Amino acid sequence: MKVGFLGLGAMGHAMARRLLDAGHEVTLYNRTASKADDLVADGARLARTPAEAAKGAEVVFSMLFDDATTQAATFGDEGIATAMEPDAIHVCCSTLSLDQARRLRDGHAERGQGYVTANVLGRPPAAVAGELFVIVAGPEPLRSRIEPALKAFGHRIFAVGDDPVQANLVKLSLNFMIMSTIEQMAEVFALNEKAGTDPRTVFEIMTGSFCNAPVHKNYGKLMVEHSYDYPGASVTLGLKDTEMFLAAGHDYRVPLPYAAIARDRFLAAMAAGDADKDFVVLMERARQDAGLK
Protein backbone atom coordinates (compact mmCIF):
# COMPACT_ATOMS: atom_id res chain seq x y z
CA MET A 1 0.00 0.00 0.00
CA LYS A 2 0.99 3.63 -0.46
CA VAL A 3 1.19 4.98 3.08
CA GLY A 4 1.73 8.44 4.51
CA PHE A 5 2.96 8.61 8.11
CA LEU A 6 3.11 11.66 10.36
CA GLY A 7 4.92 11.72 13.70
CA LEU A 8 8.20 9.97 14.44
CA GLY A 9 8.33 9.89 18.21
CA ALA A 10 9.37 6.68 19.97
CA MET A 11 6.11 4.94 19.03
CA GLY A 12 5.60 6.51 15.62
CA HIS A 13 9.13 5.78 14.42
CA ALA A 14 8.80 2.10 15.34
CA MET A 15 5.38 1.84 13.66
CA ALA A 16 6.68 3.52 10.50
CA ARG A 17 9.65 1.12 10.50
CA ARG A 18 7.30 -1.87 10.69
CA LEU A 19 5.25 -0.55 7.75
CA LEU A 20 8.40 0.00 5.70
CA ASP A 21 9.80 -3.43 6.53
CA ALA A 22 6.46 -5.03 5.58
CA GLY A 23 6.90 -3.74 2.05
CA HIS A 24 4.59 -0.74 2.09
CA GLU A 25 5.57 2.38 0.17
CA VAL A 26 5.99 4.92 2.98
CA THR A 27 6.18 8.72 2.83
CA LEU A 28 7.07 10.39 6.12
CA TYR A 29 6.53 13.76 7.72
CA ASN A 30 8.03 14.87 11.02
CA ARG A 31 8.63 18.37 12.35
CA THR A 32 12.25 17.39 13.11
CA ALA A 33 13.18 15.91 9.75
CA SER A 34 16.39 14.26 10.96
CA LYS A 35 14.37 11.68 12.91
CA ALA A 36 13.49 10.14 9.54
CA ASP A 37 17.10 9.74 8.35
CA ASP A 38 17.42 6.00 9.00
CA LEU A 39 14.03 5.27 7.44
CA VAL A 40 14.82 7.34 4.38
CA ALA A 41 18.11 5.48 4.05
CA ASP A 42 16.10 2.26 3.87
CA GLY A 43 13.68 3.43 1.20
CA ALA A 44 11.10 5.75 2.77
CA ARG A 45 10.45 9.16 1.24
CA LEU A 46 10.52 12.36 3.29
CA ALA A 47 7.82 14.98 2.79
CA ARG A 48 8.17 18.69 3.60
CA THR A 49 4.56 19.08 4.79
CA PRO A 50 1.68 16.89 6.03
CA ALA A 51 -0.10 17.58 2.75
CA GLU A 52 2.86 16.26 0.77
CA ALA A 53 2.89 13.08 2.88
CA ALA A 54 -0.82 12.58 2.16
CA LYS A 55 -0.65 13.24 -1.58
CA GLY A 56 -1.14 9.98 -3.49
CA ALA A 57 -1.40 7.88 -0.32
CA GLU A 58 -4.09 5.24 0.15
CA VAL A 59 -3.77 5.47 3.94
CA VAL A 60 -2.37 8.35 6.00
CA PHE A 61 -1.38 7.55 9.59
CA SER A 62 -0.91 10.25 12.21
CA MET A 63 0.81 9.59 15.55
CA LEU A 64 1.22 13.07 17.00
CA PHE A 65 1.55 14.35 20.56
CA ASP A 66 -1.68 16.16 21.32
CA ASP A 67 -4.90 17.79 20.14
CA ALA A 68 -3.29 20.98 18.81
CA THR A 69 -0.59 19.31 16.72
CA THR A 70 -3.10 16.82 15.32
CA GLN A 71 -5.61 19.54 14.41
CA ALA A 72 -2.97 21.63 12.65
CA ALA A 73 -1.47 18.68 10.77
CA THR A 74 -4.93 17.57 9.64
CA PHE A 75 -6.88 20.71 8.82
CA GLY A 76 -4.17 23.39 8.66
CA ASP A 77 -3.16 25.23 5.48
CA GLU A 78 -0.83 22.39 4.47
CA GLY A 79 -2.66 19.67 6.36
CA ILE A 80 -3.60 16.13 5.44
CA ALA A 81 -7.16 17.06 4.49
CA THR A 82 -6.00 19.48 1.78
CA ALA A 83 -4.28 16.72 -0.21
CA MET A 84 -6.05 13.41 0.53
CA GLU A 85 -7.15 11.44 -2.51
CA PRO A 86 -10.94 10.96 -2.84
CA ASP A 87 -10.81 7.35 -1.62
CA ALA A 88 -7.95 7.76 0.89
CA ILE A 89 -8.33 7.16 4.63
CA HIS A 90 -6.84 9.14 7.50
CA VAL A 91 -6.03 6.78 10.38
CA CYS A 92 -5.31 8.63 13.61
CA CYS A 93 -3.36 6.67 16.24
CA SER A 94 -2.82 9.55 18.68
CA THR A 95 -4.28 9.60 22.18
CA LEU A 96 -6.65 12.57 22.01
CA SER A 97 -9.46 14.24 23.90
CA LEU A 98 -12.97 13.26 22.88
CA ASP A 99 -13.59 16.82 21.66
CA GLN A 100 -10.64 16.55 19.29
CA ALA A 101 -11.70 13.06 18.21
CA ARG A 102 -15.09 14.50 17.25
CA ARG A 103 -13.44 17.38 15.37
CA LEU A 104 -11.48 14.90 13.28
CA ARG A 105 -14.49 12.67 12.62
CA ASP A 106 -16.79 15.55 11.69
CA GLY A 107 -14.19 17.55 9.78
CA HIS A 108 -13.37 14.66 7.47
CA ALA A 109 -17.06 13.81 7.07
CA GLU A 110 -17.79 17.38 5.96
CA ARG A 111 -15.11 17.00 3.30
CA GLY A 112 -16.34 13.57 2.20
CA GLN A 113 -13.11 11.94 3.38
CA GLY A 114 -12.50 8.58 5.07
CA TYR A 115 -11.51 8.58 8.73
CA VAL A 116 -10.75 5.84 11.27
CA THR A 117 -9.30 5.85 14.79
CA ALA A 118 -6.68 3.15 15.44
CA ASN A 119 -5.26 3.64 18.93
CA VAL A 120 -2.48 1.34 20.10
CA LEU A 121 -1.61 -0.29 23.42
CA GLY A 122 1.99 -1.11 24.26
CA ARG A 123 5.34 0.52 24.89
CA PRO A 124 7.99 1.33 22.24
CA PRO A 125 9.68 -2.12 22.44
CA ALA A 126 6.32 -3.73 21.59
CA ALA A 127 6.02 -1.42 18.59
CA VAL A 128 9.52 -2.38 17.44
CA ALA A 129 8.56 -6.07 17.66
CA GLY A 130 5.21 -5.57 15.91
CA GLU A 131 3.34 -6.66 19.03
CA LEU A 132 1.06 -3.71 19.67
CA PHE A 133 -2.63 -4.17 20.38
CA VAL A 134 -4.74 -2.00 18.08
CA ILE A 135 -8.16 -0.56 19.00
CA VAL A 136 -10.05 0.38 15.84
CA ALA A 137 -13.30 2.26 15.30
CA GLY A 138 -14.87 3.62 12.14
CA PRO A 139 -17.08 2.43 9.29
CA GLU A 140 -16.54 -1.28 8.68
CA PRO A 141 -15.59 -0.95 4.99
CA LEU A 142 -12.79 1.44 5.95
CA ARG A 143 -11.63 -0.80 8.80
CA SER A 144 -11.32 -3.71 6.39
CA ARG A 145 -9.27 -1.70 3.91
CA ILE A 146 -6.67 -0.60 6.46
CA GLU A 147 -6.27 -4.00 8.14
CA PRO A 148 -3.24 -5.08 6.04
CA ALA A 149 -1.37 -1.96 7.16
CA LEU A 150 -2.40 -2.37 10.81
CA LYS A 151 -1.05 -5.91 10.83
CA ALA A 152 2.44 -4.56 10.15
CA PHE A 153 2.68 -3.34 13.76
CA GLY A 154 -0.37 -4.87 15.43
CA HIS A 155 -0.26 -8.25 17.17
CA ARG A 156 -4.04 -8.21 17.61
CA ILE A 157 -6.72 -5.88 16.30
CA PHE A 158 -9.89 -5.09 18.27
CA ALA A 159 -12.83 -3.45 16.47
CA VAL A 160 -15.04 -1.53 18.92
CA GLY A 161 -17.61 0.22 16.73
CA ASP A 162 -18.49 2.36 13.73
CA ASP A 163 -17.93 5.71 15.46
CA PRO A 164 -14.20 6.58 15.56
CA VAL A 165 -14.66 8.32 18.94
CA GLN A 166 -15.44 4.96 20.56
CA ALA A 167 -11.82 3.84 20.13
CA ASN A 168 -10.54 7.08 21.65
CA LEU A 169 -12.61 6.53 24.79
CA VAL A 170 -11.52 2.89 25.12
CA LYS A 171 -7.87 3.97 24.83
CA LEU A 172 -8.25 6.65 27.51
CA SER A 173 -10.02 4.13 29.74
CA LEU A 174 -7.30 1.49 29.41
CA ASN A 175 -4.55 4.05 29.91
CA PHE A 176 -6.26 5.01 33.16
CA MET A 177 -6.23 1.35 34.25
CA ILE A 178 -2.46 1.29 33.71
CA MET A 179 -1.99 4.48 35.71
CA SER A 180 -4.19 3.35 38.59
CA THR A 181 -2.35 0.00 38.69
CA ILE A 182 0.97 1.85 38.95
CA GLU A 183 -0.43 3.84 41.88
CA GLN A 184 -1.58 0.62 43.59
CA MET A 185 1.82 -1.01 43.17
CA ALA A 186 3.62 2.12 44.34
CA GLU A 187 1.66 2.14 47.58
CA VAL A 188 2.18 -1.59 48.15
CA PHE A 189 5.92 -1.40 47.46
CA ALA A 190 6.37 1.67 49.70
CA LEU A 191 4.45 0.14 52.62
CA ASN A 192 6.43 -3.10 52.52
CA GLU A 193 9.73 -1.31 52.01
CA LYS A 194 9.08 0.71 55.15
CA ALA A 195 8.38 -2.54 57.03
CA GLY A 196 11.77 -3.87 55.90
CA THR A 197 10.75 -6.06 52.96
CA ASP A 198 12.61 -5.46 49.72
CA PRO A 199 10.12 -4.36 46.99
CA ARG A 200 11.83 -6.82 44.65
CA THR A 201 10.64 -9.64 46.93
CA VAL A 202 7.10 -8.29 46.87
CA PHE A 203 7.33 -8.01 43.09
CA GLU A 204 8.50 -11.64 42.80
CA ILE A 205 5.62 -12.88 44.94
CA MET A 206 3.11 -10.66 43.16
CA THR A 207 4.04 -11.70 39.63
CA GLY A 208 4.62 -15.32 40.65
CA SER A 209 1.09 -15.70 41.99
CA PHE A 210 -2.11 -13.98 40.92
CA CYS A 211 -0.89 -10.50 39.85
CA ASN A 212 1.00 -11.66 36.79
CA ALA A 213 -0.50 -9.66 33.95
CA PRO A 214 1.88 -7.71 31.67
CA VAL A 215 0.90 -4.45 33.37
CA HIS A 216 2.18 -5.84 36.70
CA LYS A 217 5.26 -7.56 35.27
CA ASN A 218 6.46 -4.80 32.95
CA TYR A 219 5.67 -1.69 34.97
CA GLY A 220 6.35 -3.32 38.34
CA LYS A 221 9.83 -4.35 37.21
CA LEU A 222 10.65 -0.78 36.18
CA MET A 223 9.36 0.49 39.53
CA VAL A 224 11.34 -1.80 41.83
CA GLU A 225 14.46 -1.18 39.75
CA HIS A 226 13.82 2.58 39.83
CA SER A 227 14.16 2.65 36.04
CA TYR A 228 12.63 6.09 35.67
CA ASP A 229 14.58 7.08 32.56
CA TYR A 230 13.18 4.16 30.53
CA PRO A 231 12.05 5.43 27.08
CA GLY A 232 8.35 5.02 27.62
CA ALA A 233 5.53 7.44 28.48
CA SER A 234 6.48 10.55 30.43
CA VAL A 235 4.76 12.08 33.44
CA THR A 236 3.63 14.95 31.18
CA LEU A 237 1.98 12.48 28.83
CA GLY A 238 0.39 10.58 31.72
CA LEU A 239 -1.11 13.80 33.08
CA LYS A 240 -2.47 14.73 29.66
CA ASP A 241 -4.18 11.36 29.24
CA THR A 242 -5.59 11.36 32.78
CA GLU A 243 -7.04 14.84 32.40
CA MET A 244 -8.67 13.79 29.11
CA PHE A 245 -10.16 10.75 30.87
CA LEU A 246 -11.55 13.00 33.59
CA ALA A 247 -13.00 15.28 30.92
CA ALA A 248 -14.70 12.26 29.33
CA GLY A 249 -16.24 11.46 32.71
CA HIS A 250 -17.54 15.03 32.85
CA ASP A 251 -19.02 14.68 29.34
CA TYR A 252 -20.90 11.52 30.24
CA ARG A 253 -21.68 12.56 33.86
CA VAL A 254 -19.67 9.65 35.31
CA PRO A 255 -17.71 10.29 38.55
CA LEU A 256 -14.12 9.05 38.36
CA PRO A 257 -12.62 9.50 41.85
CA TYR A 258 -9.54 7.33 41.31
CA ALA A 259 -8.69 9.27 38.17
CA ALA A 260 -8.55 12.42 40.28
CA ILE A 261 -6.01 10.71 42.56
CA ALA A 262 -3.88 9.75 39.55
CA ARG A 263 -4.03 13.33 38.25
CA ASP A 264 -2.83 14.69 41.58
CA ARG A 265 0.03 12.17 41.67
CA PHE A 266 1.16 13.33 38.23
CA LEU A 267 0.98 16.97 39.31
CA ALA A 268 3.05 16.14 42.40
CA ALA A 269 5.63 14.40 40.21
CA MET A 270 5.85 17.45 37.98
CA ALA A 271 6.23 19.72 41.02
CA ALA A 272 9.13 17.50 42.14
CA GLY A 273 10.90 18.05 38.82
CA ASP A 274 10.05 14.67 37.27
CA ALA A 275 7.93 15.87 34.34
CA ASP A 276 10.16 14.19 31.73
CA LYS A 277 10.66 10.94 33.64
CA ASP A 278 8.80 7.74 32.76
CA PHE A 279 5.49 7.82 34.61
CA VAL A 280 6.52 4.85 36.78
CA VAL A 281 8.34 7.57 38.76
CA LEU A 282 5.03 7.90 40.65
CA MET A 283 6.71 5.25 42.81
CA GLU A 284 8.81 8.05 44.32
CA ARG A 285 5.78 10.03 45.40
CA ALA A 286 4.51 7.02 47.37
CA ARG A 287 7.97 6.50 48.86
CA GLN A 288 8.18 10.17 49.79
CA ASP A 289 4.79 10.04 51.50
CA ALA A 290 6.05 7.04 53.48
CA GLY A 291 9.13 8.94 54.65
CA LEU A 292 11.53 6.78 52.63
CA LYS A 293 14.68 8.12 51.01
Per-residue pLDDT of the chain (293 residues; tens, 9 = 90+): 999 999 999 999 999 999 999 999 999 999 999 999 999 999 999 999 999 999 999 999 999 999 999 999 999 999 999 999 999 999 999 999 999 999 999 999 999 999 999 999 998 899 999 999 999 999 999 999 999 999 999 999 999 999 999 999 999 999 999 999 999 999 999 999 999 999 999 999 999 999 999 999 999 999 999 999 976 789 999 999 999 999 999 999 999 999 999 999 999 999 999 999 999 999 999 999 999 98
What integer pLDDT is reported at residue 249 of this predicted model?
A: 97
pTM of structure:
0.93
Domains of the chain: 2-162 (3.40.50.720), 169-289 (1.10.1040.10)
What integer pLDDT is reported at residue 231 of this predicted model?
A: 66
Contacts of 215 (CB under 8 A, 6+ apart): 177, 178, 181
- Which amino acids are annotated catalytic? 171
